[in-house]
Amino acid sequence: MSTLVEMSGIAKSFGPVTVLKDVAFSLSAGEIHALMGENGAGKSTLMKILTGLYQADAGSIRVAGEAVDIRNPRQAEALGIAIMHQELNLIPELSVAENLFLGREQTLGFSGILNAGRMRALAKEYLSRLAVELDPDAEVGSLSIGQQQMVEIARALSLNARVLIMDEPTAALSEREIDALFAVIRELRADGVGIVYVSHRMEEIFALCDRISVLRDGEFVGTERIADTSLDHVVQMMVGRELGERFPKREVSHGAERLRVENLCDEGNIAGINFSVRAGEVLGIAGLMGAGRTEIARTLFGLNKRLSGKIFVDGKEARINKPADAIGYGVGFVTEDRKAQGLVLGLSVRENITLSAVPTHGRSGIVSRSEEKSLVARCIDMLKIRTRDAELEVQSLSGGNQQKVVLAKWLNLKPRVLILDEPTRGVDIGGKAEIYHIINQLAFEGVAVVVISSELPEVLGISDRILVMHEGRMAGELATAGASQESIMHLATGGY
């Protein structure tokens, strides 16, 4: 088999932060090559370099044997390198055919008049190569996520892609859709396309891929043939040390019940949710994307409408209809999307920390500046928020430090219950450990903590109990002691 892509000695830093150092990666024609590593290991940076979004500081890239310098995505496209992002780049209001040819519409000569017939025919052809039944005139927004992915793959094919990078393609798919996707991927492999498969799901990788490369903290750990390796070995390559180290130990005795949720239902996303969390306890919520994990939090917090069900805080029923109500009952919510829902990016670190509760002179509404200043200084010190000045705009901070600002905002309210949705997304490994420490500290102080996470090692590492969601319902509850990634996955995928 011929080598399609050969990357060697790749290095990249952003300012003082080194993201990749001396990384090698090779892809052959007709292979499915898994690229693994924890969040922040450098996978996406490496792929952004291959697709021309970033330029490497050092190293070389050869495509089909020829040294190339990929300066922008257009150039990557011309070399036959296509990427399928986790967030699909489709325009929902346009049809399948219109999306396929977006930006390079077929026209009648140079008239600028669309040749709709030809585009429809070509679209049909590409789709039939994938053996999927899709109407080229269907509006993309009306398709399922799985079908939309097929449109993305067809677009890559229409570009004559020889290299196809897929980033977490199954994150939002149902079992059946995953099977269909895998069939298409294998078909592409048989046609000689090289596929880079980025995923966290071990089982998928072992079922689908030919080789696997692992990155850790920006360094290349190694490449193995799937046939010659084991799951344990891959995990060890990824983590590089004992799991115990990553998740600081917590020895806290659980107190009285802090939060109880009875038969919680929202408008169609979740139903029949029952659980309780005691003081000092950490409950993990696991499940696939779209399984309703975030919806539980949003409904609990009064952001989504609660159709039925009751919420109890410290044994008393909490009537929560809007976030301010939830806060009144001592419930805090660290949202999954820091930038869109957690922070006011244009405001300073100080203003963000005190957003939920500005210290005022009595009930006058006049801000007590001295009190605010000392409060902010305490938070920065306690949570080790690395910022040169509390007056800097919060957007100038790194992901981990931004997350700590969000945490500080909630800690100021002295919450009794704190819900954290993907608390370490986009946070580097060092920052993660600090956030786990903060979670432990909260538990120690008697807060009931609920952590929603897509990272199974994280869920296993920090929770006392794990609630697993499947398609809006509770698939089961596991004690962490007896749980494994496999047992969680089994429940999360609907356990057959």
Applying CB under 8 A, does 301 fall inside the site for another protein? yes
For another protein, the binding residue among 91, 324, 377, 382 (CB under 8 A) is: 324
∠ Cα 239 241 246 (to 5°): 75
Q: How far is CA 163 from the centre of its chain?
A: 24
Residue 121's contacts (CB-CB under 8 Å, 6 or more residues apart) are none
Please say which residue, 280 or 342, places its beta carbon nearer to another protein.
342
Please tell me the distance from the alpha carbon of residue 382 to that of residue 387, in angstroms, as a whole number: 13
DSSP state of 86: S
* Contact (CB, 8 A) for 45 and 12: yes
The half-sphere exposure of 185 on its side-chain side, counting CA atoms within 13 A, is 27
List the one residue from 79, 90, 234, 303 that touches another protein (CB under 8 A): 303
Site pattern 402..431 for another protein (x: CB under 8 A): -------x---x------------------
Does residue 323 touch another protein according to CB under 8 A?
A: yes
Q: Which is nearer to another protein, 236 or 356 (CB)?
A: 356
25/61 Cα distance (integer angstroms): 9
Name which of residues 342 to 361 contact another protein (CB under 8 A): 342-347, 351, 354-358, 360
Nearest approach, Cβ of 324 to another protein (angstroms)?
Answer: 5
Instruction: Kindly indicate which of the ranges 146-154, 186-194, 225-233, 319-327 contains the residues binding another protein, using the contact rule CB under 8 A.
Output: 319-327
In the structure encoding, which two tokens stand for residue 465, read together?
């109990």
The DSSP 8-state label assigned to residue 276 in this structure reads E
The two tokens of residue 434 are 């600090």
The residue to which tokens 């609990």 are assigned: 300
CB of 301 to another protein, least distance (A): 7
Strand pairing report for 32-36 and 17-28: unpaired
**Smaller CB distance to another protein: residue 352 or 480?**
352
> Interface with another protein includes 227 (CB under 8 A)?
no
Place of tokens 């007896």: 482
State in angstroms the smallest separation of the CB of 152 from another protein: 28
Give one word for 112, left, alpha or beta, with left for phi > 0 and alpha for psi -120 to 50: left
- List Cα–Cα distances, 72 to 45, 55, 77, 189, 196, in angstroms: 14, 8, 9, 26, 19
**Should residue 398 be labelled a site residue for another protein when binding is judged by CB under 8 A?**
no
Q: How far is the CB of 137 from another protein (least distance, A)?
A: 32
- 249 contributes a contact to another protein by CB under 8 A: no
Q: How far apart are CA 35 and CA 319, in angstroms?
A: 47
Q: Given the complex with another protein, which of 102 and 344 has the nearer CB atom?
A: 344
Using CA of residue 439, residue 444, residue 450, residue 451, what is the dihedral sign?
positive
Of the candidate residues 367, 377, 382, 479, the single one contacting another protein (CB under 8 A): 367
329 binds another protein (CB under 8 A): no
CB 138 → another protein: shortest distance, Å? 30
Question: Quick check: 183 binds another protein (CB under 8 A)?
Answer: no
Distance (Å, whole) CA 47 – CA 474: 36
Instruction: Give whichever of 41 and 376 is closer to another protein, judged by the CB atom.
Output: 376
Number of residues that bind another protein (CB under 8 A): 30
16/365 with CB nearer another protein: 365
Q: Applying CB under 8 A, which residues contact another protein?
A: 301, 303, 322-324, 327, 333, 335, 340-347, 351, 354-358, 360, 365-367, 369, 388, 409, 413
